[in-house]
């Protein structure tokens, strides 16, 4: 669909594929194409789960520094919100999303992976937020999503040192969820989300909304949000099918409605 980012759909799984040689640097064009792909994946009825994939060599090695080097405060103040918005579009895809990480996921590439629900990494992958070495901080959600995922102390370690972590350490701290050989990354990601293709799409959407939205609320507000989403699912065909199948002791046939 775009020059550097495309949405490929097969068997109910949409793959948002980055392809900007050599390192999938996330320039402004790539950012906007990612936003468009996220919106398309969200709206497509034939996409029930999503993989974000940079290819066999690299996930994404970060922002295009040459593009940013000449910018001052005034220019970046106008562009920073667009950058955040592009990544937020991926975080808000109302379907299960997994990042399939080969090679480097650094800076904006790590932030891109953080927008996903889960992350599968190659055993030789390297992740990190090295922006501090450029005199800046992460600007596409890294300070916020990383701290929520691994805790503030570990997030400060990674962001303030700028160091890279290997796949084993990333797994230990909860930055990635599975580590496999480099040749198995994409297929492992597909296997992770394949069960959701035939799942109750509205309930899966509600679960993601409840969890992600609740993280931004106090407990009382989060419980009220959960209750609202829970009740709304009683208007779906899948609720009827799921409960009837349970009573009748058979496997449900969900339609996503």
Domain spans, the chain: 5-197, 200-247
pLDDT at 16 over 90: yes
pLDDT digits (tens, 9 = 90+) for 187-204: 999 999 999 999 999 999
Cα–Cα dist 47/49, whole Å: 6
* Mean pLDDT over each residue of the chain, to the nearest integer: 95
Which of 32, 33, 111, 226 is labelled catalytic? 111
Judge whether 108 counts as a catalytic residue.
yes
Cα–Cα dist 231/227, whole Å: 6
CATH topology of domain 200-247: Lyase 2-enoyl-coa Hydratase; Chain  A, domain 2 (1.10.12)
pLDDT at 81 over 90: no
Q: Nearest 5°: phi and psi at 24?
A: 55, 40
Cα–Cα dist 226/209, whole Å: 9
pLDDT at 244 over 80: yes
Judge whether 69 counts as a catalytic residue.
no
Judge whether 241 counts as a catalytic residue.
no
- Work out the average pLDDT over 104-125: 97
Which of 14, 62, 103, 108 is labelled catalytic? 108
Cα–Cα dist 215/16, whole Å: 26
Q: pTM of the entire structure?
A: 0.94
Per-residue confidence band for 83, with pLDDT thresholds at 50, 70 and 90: confident
Cα–Cα dist 86/65, whole Å: 18
pLDDT at 207 over 90: yes
pLDDT at 1 over 80: no
Which of 32, 33, 131, 226 is labelled catalytic? 131
Per-residue confidence band for 214, with pLDDT thresholds at 50, 70 and 90: very high
Which of 49, 60, 63, 99 is labelled catalytic? 63
Of residues 63 and 29, the one with the higher pLDDT is 29
Q: Which CATH superfamily is domain 5-197 in?
A: 2-enoyl-CoA Hydratase; Chain A, domain 1 (3.90.226.10)
The Cβ of residue 48 has, within 10 Å, a number of other Cβ atoms equal to: 23
Of the candidate ranges 76-85, 121-130, 171-180, 191-200, the one whose mean pLDDT is the lowest: 76-85
Q: CA separation (Å) from 245 to 2, 205, 253? A: 42, 21, 8
pLDDT at 211 over 80: yes
At residue 66, the pLDDT reads 83
**201-214 and 237-247 are packed helices; what angle lies between their axes, rounded to 10 degrees?**
110
Judge whether 111 counts as a catalytic residue.
yes
């Amino acid at each position: 669909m775009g020059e550097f980012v495309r949405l490929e759909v097969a068997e109910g799984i949409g793959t948002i594929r980055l392809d900007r040689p050599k390192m999938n640097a996330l320039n402004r064009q790539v950012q906007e194409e990612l936003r468009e792909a996220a919106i398309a994946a969200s709206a497509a009825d034939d996409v029930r789960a999503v993989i974000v994939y940079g290819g066999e060599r690299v996930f994404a090695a970060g922002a295009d520094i040459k593009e940013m080097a000449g910018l001052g405060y005034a220019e970046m103040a106008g562009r920073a919100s667009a950058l955040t918005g592009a990544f937020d579009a991926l975080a808000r895809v109302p379907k299960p999303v997994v990042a399939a990480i080969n090679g480097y996921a650094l800076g904006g590439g790590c932030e891109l992976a953080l927008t996903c629900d889960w992350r599968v990494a190659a055993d030789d992958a390297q992740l990190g937020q090295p922006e501090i070495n450029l005199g800046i901080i992460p600007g596409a959600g890294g300070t916020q999503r990383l701290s929520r995922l691994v805790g503030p102390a570990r997030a400060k370690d990674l962001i303030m040192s700028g160091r890279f972590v290997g796949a084993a350490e990333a797994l230990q701290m909860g930055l990635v969820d599975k580590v496999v050989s480099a040749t198995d990354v994409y297929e492992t990601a597909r296997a992770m989300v394949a069960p959701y293709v035939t799942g109750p799409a509205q309930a899966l959407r509600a679960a993601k909304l409840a969890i992600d939205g609740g993280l931004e609320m106090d407990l009382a507000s989060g419980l009220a949000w959960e209750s609202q989403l829970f009740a709304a699912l009683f208007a779906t065909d899948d609720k009827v099918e799921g409960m009837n199948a349970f009573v009748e002791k058979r496997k449900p046939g969900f339609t996503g409605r």
